[in-house]
A and B are shown apart, each in its own frame.
Chain A
Amino acid sequence: MSGGEQKSLPSRGVELLVLAVLVGLMVLAIRATPHGHGTSALAALGFLLLAGTVVASVLEIVGIPHLTAYLLAGMAAGPYALGLVDHQAVTDLSPINALALSLIALAGGAELRLSLLRDALRSLAWATLTQNLLVLLGMAAVFVALRPLLPFAASLSTSALVGVALVWGTMAITRSPAATLGVLSQTRAKGPLADFTLAFVMTSDVVVVILLAIVFTIADPLIEPGTPFSFGAFRRLGHEVLGSVAVGSTLGLMLAAYIRFVGRQLVLVLVVLGLVMTQVIDYLRFDWLLIFITAGFVVQNLSSQGEKFIQSIDRLGEVVYVVFFAIAGAHLDLPLLGKLWPVALALGVGRALVTVGAGKVASHLARDPPALRTWAWSGLVSQAGLALGIAAKIQNQFPTFGDAFAAMAVATVALNELVGPVLFKTALDRTGESTRHEATEPAPAATSST
Chain B
Amino acid sequence: MTPLGLLFALLAAAFLGTILMGRPGQPRRGTASGSGSALAGFLLGPTLLGVVTPAVVDLFTPLAQVGLGWLALILGLDYGYVDRRRIAPIRRAAGGLAGALALALVAAVAFVILRRLQPTGLPWNQDARTWIEAGGIGAACAETTRLSIRWVADRIHAEGPLTELLTDISDADDLVPMLLCGGLFVLEPPAGLRWGAHPALLWTGQLVLGAAIGVITALLLAREFRSQSLWGVLFGTSTVAIGLAVRADLSVLTVAFAMGVGLSHVSAHRQALRALVVPVENPLRLPALLLAGARIDLAAVPFLAWIVPAVLAARVASKVLVAACLALLSPAARKAGPWLAPGLLACGPTALSIGLAFALRFPGPIGDTVLVCAAASTLLGELVAPASLKRGLRHAGEAAPQTGSQPMVRLAT
Q: Which residues of A contact B (CB under 8 A)?
A: 1-2, 5, 7, 11, 14-15, 18, 21-22, 25-26, 29, 31-36, 39-47, 49-50, 53-54, 57, 262, 264-265, 268-269, 272-273, 275-276, 279-280, 283, 314-315, 317-319, 322, 443-450
A158 to B195, CA, bound (A): 61
Residues of A within 8 A of B5 (CB): 279-280, 283
Main secondary structure of the interface of A (DSSP, over half): helix
Residues of A within 8 A of B411 (CB): none
Residues of A within 8 A of B117 (CB): none
B225 part of interface (Cβ distance < 8 Å): yes
Contact at B227–A443, with CB atoms within 8 Å?
yes
> In the complex, which residue of chain B has the Cβ closest to the Cβ of A449?
B279
Residues of A within 8 A of B283 (CB): 265, 268, 450
A57 to B225, CA, bound (A): 14
A26 to B209, CA, bound (A): 12
**20 pairs across A/B with beta carbons < 8 Å?**
A1-B229, A2-B227, A14-B219, A25-B240, A36-B247, A42-B246, A43-B246, A45-B243, A46-B240, A50-B236, A53-B233, A268-B15, A273-B12, A279-B4, A280-B5, A319-B235, A443-B228, A444-B226, A445-B226, A446-B276
A111 to B303, CA, bound (A): 61
Contact at A32–B229, with CB atoms within 8 Å?
no
Q: Which 4 A/B pairs are nearest by Cβ-Cβ distance?
A: A43-B243, A46-B239, A42-B243, A46-B240
For chain B, residues 142 to 172, give those with C-beta under 8 angstroms from any C-beta of chain A: none
Q: Which residues of B contact A (CB under 8 A)?
A: 4-5, 8-9, 11-12, 15-16, 19-20, 24, 62, 65-66, 191-195, 209, 212, 216, 219-220, 223, 225-233, 235-244, 246-248, 269, 272, 275-276, 278-280, 283
Residues of A within 8 A of B66 (CB): 42
Known contacts A264-B19, A446-B272, A448-B275: A43-B231 contact under CB 8 Å: no
Shortest distance between the CB of B195 and any CB in chain A (Å): 6
A314 to B228, CA, bound (A): 9
Contact at B244–A446, with CB atoms within 8 Å?
no
Residues of B within 8 A of A39 (CB): 192, 243, 246-247
> In the complex, which residue of chain A has the Cβ closest to the Cβ of B69?
A42
Contact at A33–B235, with CB atoms within 8 Å?
no
A57 to B232, CA, bound (A): 13
| Residue in A15, A317, A318 with the greatest tally of chain B CB atoms within 10 Å | A318
Residues of A within 8 A of B20 (CB): 262
Contact at B279–A448, with CB atoms within 8 Å?
yes
Contact at B240–A446, with CB atoms within 8 Å?
no
Known contacts A1-B228, A1-B229, A18-B220: A50-B240 contact under CB 8 Å: yes
Residues of A within 8 A of B241 (CB): 46
Residues of A within 8 A of B247 (CB): 29, 33, 36, 39-40, 42-43
Contact at A272–B16, with CB atoms within 8 Å?
yes
A262 to B22, CA, bound (A): 11
Residues of B within 8 A of A7 (CB): 223
A22 to B243, CA, bound (A): 13
Q: 15 more A-B contacts (CB under 8 A) besides A49-B232, A54-B220?
A: A14-B219, A15-B223, A18-B219, A32-B195, A33-B194, A43-B239, A43-B247, A47-B243, A53-B229, A53-B233, A264-B19, A264-B24, A276-B8, A317-B228, A450-B279
> In the complex, which residue of chain B has the Cβ closest to the Cβ of A50?
B236
Contact at B192–A33, with CB atoms within 8 Å?
yes
Shortest distance between the CB of B148 and any CB in chain A (Å): 24
Contact at A42–B16, with CB atoms within 8 Å?
no
Known contacts A18-B216, A265-B283, A443-B227: A49-B236 contact under CB 8 Å: yes
> In the complex, which residue of chain B has the Cβ closest to the Cβ of A30?
B247
A43 to B244, CA, bound (A): 6
A300 to B16, CA, bound (A): 23
Cβ contact of A446, chosen from B194, B225, B279, cutoff 8 A: B225
Known contacts A41-B62, A268-B283: A49-B220 contact under CB 8 Å: no
